[in-house]
Amino acid sequence: MNKIHFQGQTSHYSGKVRDVYYIGDNWIVMIASNRISAFDVILPKPIPYKGQVLNQIASHMLMACQDICPNWLISTPAPQVSVGKKCVPFKIEMAVRGTLTGHAWRTYASGKRTLCGAVMPEGLKEHDLFPMPIITPSTKAAEGHDEDITPDEIISRGLATKEEWNQICEYALALFERGQMLAKKQGLVLADTKYEFGTIDGVITLMDEIHTPDSSRYFILDGFAERQSKGEKQKQLSKEFVREWLIENHFMGQTGQQVPEMNESWVKEISQRYIDLYERLIGEPFMPQDMSEDEMMDKVETVLSRLQL
């Protein structure tokens, strides 16, 4: 996608799974690629329709949460493309956790009872619900792994003022509550997720994607409590199955480890699982759309021209 150049484009950034084009001083074009990453590493083969799945889920969820706080999105002119407002980002990633899962569980199992300044009660087992959701922020690294950080460290390092931090927390918890409600309607449990915020003219604004399988972890609600009581493995709806496959093949992103080979049948299975995720989360059939690059650019340029660059 690096050969793409939009009218008024000033710069371009290629992330792990997205390409971002900065247009003038105020706008961005974000293209969700078919790349897939895990353990902060881009895997060697693209996943068909993954970009469309993520872009359309993110658009749906942003629209469903637009009454909670300002967000960056203006339009989704093409299956994999969103156009929105440029924000000055906080260099913080806001993980909100409703269950003792993933990084929180690994920390808990090691004997610790605090994570990023948040207290985790005694007597819990993996995937148990927290009494109240907790926020576990991390620094947003330009490269490599993000690092855990406490609210006090965020304020002392000038990553946000106390007032900004309080507002971001309020938004994050309200968004998570809405995400839990939307998930429950679809027979799911939103276990954890992450949000990113920035500012536009000093106004705190929600950025990037929300409540997608790349940024969130879902469990199947039916039988969740029974499985917990019996100590059985929970049924997940996320890209955790990709991480599990990598771990089984001795890869966790550590130095010297080799990414396992991805054969075509595995690539097709990942693609189908992403489509299944879409249909389960949104409650509608997924309609694959194959759009040429020229057609995509025309649609984006039409939106940009309306923004009076």
73-111 pLDDT, tens digit per residue, is 999 999 999 999 999 999 999 999 999 999 999 999 999
CATH number of the domain within which 275 lies: 3.30.470.20
Q: In what order do the strands lie in the sheet with 9-14?
A: 9-14, 18-23, 27-32, 81-85, 73-78
> What residue numbers bound the domain in which 154 lies?
88-309
Please give the pLDDT value at position 213.
Answer: 85
Is the pLDDT score of 144 beyond 60? Answer: no
What's the pLDDT score for residue 88? 96
Please report whether residue 241 resides in a domain.
yes
Would you say the C-alpha torsion 58, 207, 203, 176 has a positive or negative sign?
positive
Tokens of 209: 């994607």
- The answer to whether position 60 is within a domain reads no
pLDDT in tens, 166-216: 999 999 999 999 999 999 999 999 999 999 999 999 999 999 999 998 899
Residue 26 forms part of a structural domain = no
pTM: 0.91
In a domain, 36, yes or no: no
Q: Give Cα separations from 7 to 47, 72, 124, 172 (angstroms).
A: 29, 20, 54, 34
Say how far apart CA 264 and CA 128 lie, in whole Å: 36
**In this predicted model, what pLDDT tens digit does every residue of 245-258 receive, in sequence order?**
999 999 998 889 99
Q: How many domains does the chain have?
A: 1
Does 290 score more than 50 pLDDT? yes
Which stretch of DSSP H or E encloses residue 19?
Answer: strand 18-23
- pLDDT of 1 above 50: no
CB atoms within 10 A of CB 231: 9
pLDDT given at position 239: 82
Query: 225: buried, middle or exposed (CB in 10 Å: 19+, 13-18, 0-12)?
Result: exposed
In a domain, 107, yes or no: yes
Say if 289 falls within a structural domain: yes
Q: Is the pLDDT of residue 142 over 70?
A: no
H-type alpha helices, 224-284: 224-230, 240-248, 264-282
59 assigned to some structural domain: no
In a domain, 256, yes or no: yes
